[in-house]
C-alpha cells in the first residue's frame, strides 16, 4: 500500500506470536513471527483487532467475520481472497472448488498460488482450503498451524492428516 503508514503490534496466540499491521482500523496483514515487540499500548483500532483475534482463539468463531481488510495484491488475488470469505468456519473447500467459485475452474494452480500469497491469514481463511483428497496441503504458516486452525473450527480431519 503506497503511502500507507501502518501501525504494528504483536499478539501472542495459540499459534505463536502474530505481527498484526493495520491502518485506521483496517487490517493490512498478519504474519507468523518470531519477534515479540512486547506489551506496548496499542492504538484503539489495533486493540479492537487484537480483541477480536483473541475472541476467535477463545472460541468465538464469528469474531473475525466483520473485520475490515485491505490486502495488497493483484486483481485476481484479491478476487480469490474475497471468495475465501464464503467458506464458513468449520468447513473446507478443495482448490478445485475454490477455482470454480472464483469463476476460473481451469485455473486451479493459479488459485492455489493466490491462496498461498494471502497476506492476512486466519482472517482471510486460506487455511480452509485443502487438497482434493482431503489432505492438508500448502499453508504459509506450516501445516501444524493449519491443522490447529481447522481443528479449532471443528473440522473433523481424516486420520492420515
Q: What is the pLDDT along the chain (161 residues), one digit of tens a residue?
A: 455 578 889 999 999 999 999 998 899 999 998 777 666 667 888 899 999 999 999 999 999 999 999 999 999 999 999 999 999 999 999 999 999 999 999 999 999 999 999 999 999 999 999 999 889 998 989 999 999 999 999 999 877 65
d(CA 88, CA 105): 21
Total-model pTM? 0.90
CB 111 within 8 A of CB 104: yes
CA distances 58 to 52, 63, 89, 130, Å, are: 10, 10, 14, 24
Active site residue 2: no
Dihedral sign of CA atoms 47, 1, 19, 75 in order: positive
Active-site entry in 126, 129, 130, 136? 126
Amino acid at each position: 500500500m503506497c503511502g500507507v503508514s501502518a501501525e504494528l503490534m504483536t499478539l501472542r496466540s495459540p499459534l505463536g506470536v502474530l505481527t498484526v499491521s493495520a491502518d485506521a482500523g483496517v487490517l493490512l496483514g498478519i504474519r507468523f513471527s518470531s519477534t515479540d515487540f512486547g506489551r506496548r499500548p496499542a492504538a484503539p483500532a489495533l486493540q479492537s483487532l487484537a480483541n477480536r483475534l483473541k475472541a476467535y482463539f477463545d472460541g468465538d468463531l464469528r469474531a473475525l467475520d466483520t473485520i475490515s481488510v485491505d490486502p495488497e495484491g493483484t486483481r485476481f488475488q484479491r478476487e480469490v481472497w474475497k471468495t475465501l470469505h464464503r467458506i464458513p468456519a468449520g468447513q473446507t473447500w478443495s482448490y478445485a472448488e475454490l477455482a470454480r467459485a472464483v469463476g476460473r475452474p481451469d485455473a486451479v494452480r493459479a488459485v492455489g498460488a493466490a491462496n498461498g500469497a494471502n497476506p492476512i491469514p486466519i482472517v482471510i481463511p486460506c487455511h480452509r482450503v485443502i487438497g482434493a483428497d482431503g489432505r492438508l496441503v500448502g499453508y504459509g504458516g506450516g501445516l501444524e498451524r493449519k491443522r490447529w486452525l481447522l481443528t479449532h473450527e471443528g473440522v473433523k480431519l481424516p486420520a492420515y492428516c
